Amino acid sequence: MADDEARILTMTVERGKIAEFARAIGDNNPIYFDQTKARAAGFADIPAPPTFYEVWLRFIDFGGDRPRPQRTQGGPEGGSGFDGGREIEYLKPLIAGDVVTMTKRDGSPYEREGRRGGKLTFKVEKCELTNQRGEKVMVVRNITVSTSKVPGER
């Protein structure tokens, strides 16, 4: 593992958790509940819905092995911070039985001049999910933005 990469979490994708998650989001597709139907659809086992990775993000943000990041800190003049969005690359499905490791890498911050909030500082956190075969299954980029002053102040 590279110096700028931090191992965050390793978990096993469980059939029961997939079914629980599918029920919670209201997706009744039988491939999330029945191994025979999942295999008939071309999967090695029961696949997880695409947003299942949120289970890991919630665990990390609300009680995992790392503190929840502060996302509301502003710049030195008392600005504010906000969520700048999320980019997700789905590379392979998460499958029941997979042992998935999520690693996090912080990218280099970059700045742009804003119209109302002064200087904007963008930070990109890159999370990669890799299965037990070393295959990258997903890349998530979380972007946070902090302003150098409160928008609207002169």
Per-domain boundaries in the chain: 5-147
In this predicted structure, what is the pLDDT of residue 7? 66
Walk along the chain (154 residues) and give the pLDDT tens digit of each residue.
444 557 678 889 999 999 999 999 999 999 999 999 999 999 999 999 988 887 766 655 444 444 344 444 444 445 567 777 888 899 999 999 999 998 888 877 888 887 766 788 888 888 889 999 999 999 988 888 888 766 555 5
Contacts of 39 (CB under 8 A, 6+ apart): 45
> Phi then psi for 123, rounded to 5 degrees?
-125, 135
Q: 127's torsion region: left (phi>0), alpha (psi -120 to 50) or beta? A: beta
- H/E element holding 149? none
| pLDDT value at residue 73 | 47
**Other residues' Cβ atoms within 10 Å of the Cβ of residue 13:** 23
pLDDT at residue 65, as a whole number: 44
CB 71 within 8 A of CB 83: yes
Q: At the fourth CATH level, which superfamily is domain 5-147? A: Hotdog Thioesterase (3.10.129.10)
- Residue 141: its pLDDT value, please? 86
What pLDDT, on a 0 to 100 scale, did the predictor assign at position 81?
Answer: 73
**Beta carbons of 100 and 130 less than 8 angstroms apart:** yes
pLDDT for the residue numbered 67: 39
